[in-house]
Every structure is written in structure tokens, then in C-alpha cells.
Chains A and B, each alone.
Chain A
Amino acid sequence: MMPLNRRQIAWRAAQDVPDGAYVNLGIGIPTLVADYKPAEREIVFHSENGILGVGPAPAPGEEDPDLINAGKTLVTLLPGGAYFTHSDAFLMIRGGHLDLALLGAFEVAIGGDLANWTTDDPNMSPGVGGAMDLAVGAREVRVLMQHMTAKGEPRLKRRCRYPLTAPGCVKRIYTDHAVLDVAADGFILREMIPGLDVATLQGMTDAPLHVPAPPGVIATPPL
């Protein structure tokens, strides 16, 4: 059994983004989704600092210091892209104009509660950025994260231990082990990596797993 790496989690999530979608990618694993967009689909990536049509990283020599994404990395603009002000960027988010937000998370709880902005670490200041706006405003929120913490604690939980970003907003989760949909009383298993069984995955998950149909097998290319 080989858990997916970060790029493979992003690849799997990218396969589910439909042609024509307006999508915001959160910082971390979600940012990688842009690299695995299926070639035949036109997907418009939104950045909270006022860009629609975010393109890939600039080629050497093509960098423009005035063109960055939410993670403050240099990007490019695709033909058809547009710049606008922060108020409009968040109007798009809050007003339900984005089809999809793909976000990172510390934890997701049954019912779709999302915790992704602070762990209350006393050694650093807290920051919320656009996390709450995206969680509340995008028409659909999906999370990309590791199934467990580095210490082996489940991140899919009955109840979030960390402060909430928004209650009841997450619909689907892509982890390094599985693809799951959120239910009111647990998580619905859709796909697993090859060689993993339901009992083992249940042991890694702090809430009931529902398996209404035999789960599919996640088949990603080596990345």
C-alpha cells in the first residue's frame, strides 16, 4: 500500500473539476491542482488578490514582481484573464460566484465543519486571510489534505478540535488514502488507494465510514 504524495492528491482532485468552472485554489496542496488540470478543459482560476485566469509560474526572465497569487508566489495571466480590486475579488467569493473552492485543512468533521485557519499555536500569531470567506461563499468546498497528522492522529473527525473556519461547508475530501464525501453522521467512502481495506481506513478515521457501494480504486500516474 502506497499513500498518494501531495502531487497525486492534487492530480486526483483535478480530475473532478469540470470544464468551464471558476475555481479558487487554497495555499498548500490545492495550489498544485493547476498543474494537473486535464488539458482539454478550460478552467478559470481565481486568486483572492484580484485575478481571474491565473496561469502557471513564469518562465525564467518573464517574472513580473506585480503579479503574484494568494500564496505570494509569482504567476502569469492567461489570455482572457482579468485584474480587479480586492472588494470585487471577495464579492465573487462571498456572493456565490465561484463554482468551487479547493482548500487545505487541519481537520474536517462530520456534517462538513472545517478547521483550517489556526491551531492556537502560542509561538505564532494567528492569521485567517480569506479562509472564512471561501468556506462560506464558494458554491462548493472540497478539501485536500493528509488523512492523518504526522503524529498519526485522524484529521477526519466527529468534532473538530481546532477552532472552526466555518460550520457545515465541506462536501468532499481528497486524502493521501481515500476520496470521501461528507455526511451528517460520518464520511461516505468513494475511493481508496490500491491495497487498502475499509477496516484499516476506519482505524485512521475518527468517525463512522459509510460504504454504500464497493469503493473505487484511486489510480494516479506516478508524479
Chain B
Amino acid sequence: MIDKQVATLAEAVAGIQDGATILCSGFGAVGSPDRLFQALLEQGATDLIAVSNNAGSGQIGLAALIKAGRVRRVICSYPRTTDPVVFEEEYRAGRIELELVPQGTLSERMRCAAAGLGGFWSPVGVGTRLAEGKEEREIDGKRYVLELPLKGDAAFVRADKADRWGNLTYRKSARNFNPVMAMAATLTVAEVGELVPLGALDPEVIVTPGIFVDRIVVPGGEA
């Protein structure tokens, strides 16, 4: 029998090691699995690399991990989002590294890792500071830079509904980075709003098939 639901948030983040690369979903605060970040804070892993579109809003979620000094490096497209106070303070003090990646390149690098590809040639960034040091080539008269895959040791995603096999659906623009991050990590943990019986999700609307998902937790409704 397959049952990916774990009973507690602590179980959901168990085993994540110091130094791990965590794919942190969400766009601003929307679609962000804040309870998993809180659980990881309590779990204690440190020296983390966070891959995220933004670098945390306010004082919760990823921002709380950053504030506690657990994150060594952020790989993101836009650290400044609504209320980015925690990251800005750490960055100005030189306590956190920043790798800036164009937003589409960020998602495609993860998709590449998910798909078992060794990289891709992108026109984005050519002729700019963000292409410095990258291999470049011309294809059909257009210039491209080589972008390499980006894989997570873990992915923290947030979904609307799940079943025990790990099939996931999302709500509106809270889908954002969740599907690609769910595919691109060794261990994918989903914080979900509701667990439904197997067969209750319309197969036509499942966005992330359960093959990509390892653990499911329903905060507040822990089994």
C-alpha cells in the first residue's frame, strides 16, 4: 500500500541534512509552504542553500530560516518582494550569499534537472552581467549561454489538495513554481490544504502526479 501522508510536520522534514539545497516554492507569499519552513527551523538543519523566486516576506516562512542564520546562500530571481526586511538586513551585513538568476532560467534549470538533462542553451542574459563566465555559442545566427541543471536535495511545495498517492492540485496563481520544484528534488515534501480519498481527484486536473511526491502533510489536520 502506498500512503505518503506523514503524521506531523516534524516527520515531514525529518532527515534533511546540514548543507542541503532546498527548493522553496511560492511567488511572494502565494503558494509558499510556510509550515514546512517553520518545521525545518525547529528541526535544526543549517548551512542551507535556498532556491526560491524571492527571499522571504515578513518574519515567517523562509524569512524565519534566514533570520535564524540557517541559510548560507539564496539562489533567486528577485530577493526584494513584499516586506523583504530579513533578507535585506542579512545581505547588507554580508551574512548571506546571493546568486541572481533570471526567473525563467531559474524554473528551466530545475525542469532540466527533473528531466535528466545536462543543461540548455538560453538567449536570456546574453550580453549582460548575468552571463559573465558562462559558455556561449551561436545557433542559427542567435547567441545563447549554457545554463546548467539545478537539483534540490529537498523541495518544499504547497498544494491545495492531495491524495495518499501524492497526486497534487493547486489553486489559481498559487501553482507558480510548485510543479517544477516538485519534480526536481530527491525528496519532495508537500504541505497541503486537504487530503482527499484516492480516486476523488479528477485525473484530468491532477497537475503533479504522485510519482514526484514523497511526503504529504496536512497542517492542523495531522493524522
Report the bound CA distance from A147 to B79 in whole Å. 28
Interface flag for A36 (CB, 8 Å): no
Segment at the interface with B among A4-12, A158-166, A187-195, A205-213: A158-166
Contact A136 B180 (CB under 8 A): no
Q: Which residues of B contact A128 (CB under 8 A)?
A: 77-78, 100-103, 130
Q: Which residues of A contact B103 (CB under 8 A)?
A: 48, 86, 90, 128-130, 133
Interface flag for B8 (CB, 8 Å): no
Interface flag for B178 (CB, 8 Å): yes
Segment at the interface with B among A14-22, A65-73, A99-107, A174-182: A65-73
* Residue of chain B at shortest CB distance from A70: B27
Q: Which residues of A contact B37 (CB under 8 A)?
A: none
Produce 1/0 per residue, B86-124, CB < 8 A to A.
011001100000101111110110010000000000111
B92, B128, B179, most chain A CB atoms within 10 A = B128
Produce 1/0 per residue, A108-132, CB < 8 A to B.
0000000000000001111111111
Q: Which residues of A contact B31 (CB under 8 A)?
A: 66
Contact B107 A49 (CB under 8 A): no
Interface flag for A220 (CB, 8 Å): no
* Residue of chain A at shortest CB distance from B181: A86
Interface flag for A50 (CB, 8 Å): yes
Contact A72 B81 (CB under 8 A): yes
A66, A91, A123, A163, most chain B CB atoms within 10 A = A66
Q: Which residues of B contact A44 (CB under 8 A)?
A: none
Q: Which residues of A contact B170 (CB under 8 A)?
A: 83
Q: How large is the interface on A (under 10, 10 to 19, 20 to 34, 35 or more residues)?
A: 35 or more
Q: Which residues of B contact A66 (CB under 8 A)?
A: 30-31, 171-174
Interface flag for A47 (CB, 8 Å): yes
Produce 1/0 per residue, A70-91, CB < 8 A to B.
0010000100000111110111
Residues of chain A in range 136-159 having any CB-CB distance to chain B below 8 Å: 136-137
Chain A nearest CB from B184 CB (Å) reads 10
Contact A64 B176 (CB under 8 A): no
Report the bound CA distance from A218 to B137 in whole Å. 44
Interface flag for A93 (CB, 8 Å): yes
Chain A nearest CB from B36 CB (Å) reads 18
CB-CB under 8 A for A64 and B172, given A124-B88, A129-B103: yes
Interface flag for B125 (CB, 8 Å): yes
Chain A nearest CB from B178 CB (Å) reads 7
CB-CB under 8 A for A125 and B88, given A72-B82, A85-B176: yes
Report the bound CA distance from A66 to B105 in whole Å. 24
CB-CB under 8 A for A126 and B100, given A77-B172, A86-B107: yes
* Residue of chain A at shortest CB distance from B131: A132
Report the bound CA distance from A81 to B94 in whole Å. 43
User: Which of B28, B78, B87, B100 is within 8 Å of A68, CB to CB?
Assistant: B28
Interface flag for A94 (CB, 8 Å): yes
Q: Which residues of B contact A50 (CB under 8 A)?
A: 173, 175-176
Q: Which residues of A contact B175 (CB under 8 A)?
A: 50, 83-85
Chain B nearest CB from A75 CB (Å) reads 8
Report the bound CA distance from A84 to B80 in whole Å. 24
CB-CB under 8 A for A85 and B178, given A72-B81, A90-B103, A93-B104: yes
Report the bound CA distance from A157 to B124 in whole Å. 23
Report the bound CA distance from A51 to B176 in whole Å. 9
B84, B92, B124, B180, most chain A CB atoms within 10 A = B124
Report the bound CA distance from A167 to B124 in whole Å. 11
Report the bound CA distance from A98 to B25 in whole Å. 25
Contact B180 A68 (CB under 8 A): no
Contact B92 A123 (CB under 8 A): yes
Contact B87 A94 (CB under 8 A): no
* Residue of chain B at shortest CB distance from A69: B173
- The 4 lowest CB-CB distance pairs between A and B, nearest first, are A90-B104, A127-B78, A133-B104, A129-B78
B-to-A contact residues, CB < 8 Å? 27-31, 53, 55, 77-82, 84, 87-88, 91-92, 98, 100-105, 107-108, 111, 122-130, 170-180, 207
With A85-B176, A128-B78 already in contact, 7 other A-B pairs whose C-beta atoms are closer than 8 Å: A48-B103, A65-B30, A86-B103, A87-B107, A93-B104, A125-B84, A164-B127
